[in-house]
Chains A and B, each alone.
Chain A
Amino acid sequence: MNIGQAFSMAIKSIRNNKARSILTMLGIIIGVAAVITLVTIIQGYQKEFIRQVSDMGTNVVQVSYYYDQRDVSRGITEKARSMPEYVQAMTPNQSNWYTVKLRDKSRDSRIIFGSEQYDICTNYNIEKGSMFTYNNVLNADRVCVIGQALKNELFNFENPIGKTVHIQGEKFRVVGVLEEKNMQWGDYYDNICIVPYTNNRLLMKNPSVSEYVIQAVDGEATKAIITEMENYFKQLLGRDWGYWIYSENQFMEFYNEQIALMSLIGGGIAGISLVVGGIGIMNIMLVSVTERTREIGIRKSIGARRFDIISQFLIESGTLSLCGGLLGILLGALLSLIFGRLIFKDLVLLPSLFIVVGAAGFSIVLGMFFGFYPANRASKLNPIDALRVE
């Protein structure tokens, strides 16, 4: 059977019964729109979540040591540096609140004891100047990198690079300024001052550095790092407590499972309306076959085989369903936009290409699946009986 011919017949028959065709499509339209909207909104939540998490940095392993007051920074640093295939960067992440002063201005800020890789590990960008260097860390130089909030408070429009601020009465030279993080929690992430962690004894009464952040090269590497660090601590302490190792990836995995489950349930519920829509198509195709019994008889008498009749009606039901699917995609995209606008602040929510193509393909399959019974029935009609029908 010539597909083009069957397709143009299908379009003709849909156009000749406009009202009926649209009513039949309605089931598919609503079903497809529901599935698309639901899945897109769920994906929106996922995107929003990933965005928030990745502001903190992705593929990051956090390590805490709380067994005793020992200074384990050297050991942990060496351990991390010993596996460059997994570790991209690592830094201590100890912080304490101190007052930072410049002349007559001052602000209580979070002083962070970090390494020269602190910006990499916690996803900061340098706006001006640079991070301090490895040598600064080795020499416990009194240098610092300040966040936007602190810079604005102390320096206003002045260039802070090379200026000296006072922390706990000690002089620190500013070598860099960080870009603004602009997170939801006020200026917590911008009111900071990073100093080489080797200044811990100078500034802190309790000098031990117990918090660390390790930036892994990728998601898989975080798992390897967690295992390696656990082994390290077990060996160091001879027991499996006294430390804490955690990665957002673990939570992300859990969260993704939840999202997948939600998609499945939501999609399944919306999918039921698709089945109902499919039954509508089956119903109308049965009517169509009955109405066109004579046409089927004519076609068979002039040489149509059963396969020709089946394919004609399958193409017709597939086309009908595809039309419904395409309208459903449009409606679903519109609803996604509207709901996305209502739920998320600044996320333009549109169905992904994968969903659009999938929905269109699925509509065709659905139409053909539910069209098969009527089509098969049509093909089995006896040409003589079919021709006798008025």
Chain B
Amino acid sequence: MPLIEIHNLYKVYNPGEENEVRALAGVSTQIERGEFVAVLGTSGSGKSTMMNILGCLDTPSHGTYRLGGTPVEQLSDNQLSKIRSLAIGFIFQGYNLIKDLTALENVELPLVYRNMGRAKRRRIATEALQRVGLGDRLQHLPSEMSGGQQQRVAIARAISTAPPILMADEPTGNLDSRSSREIMELLRALNRQGTTIILITHDRELAGYAARTIELRDGRIISDQPTVLAKEGAV
């Protein structure tokens, strides 16, 4: 059974009106456990909409989406929250850390929503920050860290719950090339440890870190193939 299975997925904004937008127009694909998939596309191609739906932040207009065999397209707000809490970690372009919380507190937050006890979540969050190389920045506020460090805090937050799926939406969009490389290496390392990673990007070069690239244009998949590097056995 594939981990993610979408079939004929549509997302239509303002249906029936003059400014109707078909962000997704019949997308079908499958993603297996442990894959590292890049979803490539220009702005307006529908890649963000796809990530929102795959990340259970949004529901499709029609079509089916099975996550680990469970249909999720008709779930309630609370049920989607639960799936996000248990199955998915997000890494955003803008880091999306809460500015009043320290690195440690930010990383603890998903564990708080899992009703984990204070001591346990502190330990797990500390470990997650150590894994991304920020063991010495636990008590720093986001404003006291560089962009690369903030993104690593965001990654620590995403992996603190050990989710089977990581969703990364332009994770290096705000970073210099050195930090970008570090972040991508971190993602690749996580993938090697078994986490399924879905990378949303407009950057063909970044997509090269993934083993498989799905290219979107105008809400449709125009290509879906193993990455060149992967073909050469480099990944």
Contacts and interface: CB of A to CB of B under 8 A. Distances in A.
Contacts of A5: 112
Interface string A1-29: 11011000100110010000000000000
Interface stretch (A223-231, A236-244, A302-310): A302-310
B18 to A, nearest CB: 21
Contacts of B101: 9
Nearest to B100: A12
Nearest to B55: A301
B98 interface: yes
B90 A305 contact: no
B42 interface: no
Interface residues of A, number: 26
Contacts of B158: 302
B57 interface: yes
Interface of A (DSSP majority class) = helix
Contacts of B161: 303
Interface residues of B, number: 29
Given A1-B113, A384-B57, A384-B58, A303 B96 contact: no
A110 interface: no
A301 B113 contact: no
Nearest to B115: A2
B57 A13 contact: no
Interface of B: 52, 55, 57-58, 77-78, 81-82, 84-86, 89-90, 92, 96-98, 100-101, 109-110, 112-115, 118, 157-158, 161
24 contacts: A1-B112, A2-B118, A5-B112, A9-B101, A298-B96, A299-B98, A299-B109, A300-B57, A300-B84, A301-B55, A302-B90, A302-B109, A302-B110, A303-B110, A303-B113, A303-B114, A304-B81, A304-B113, A305-B77, A305-B78, A305-B85, A306-B78, A387-B57, A387-B96
Interface of A: 1-2, 4-5, 9, 12-13, 16, 294-295, 297-308, 382-384, 387
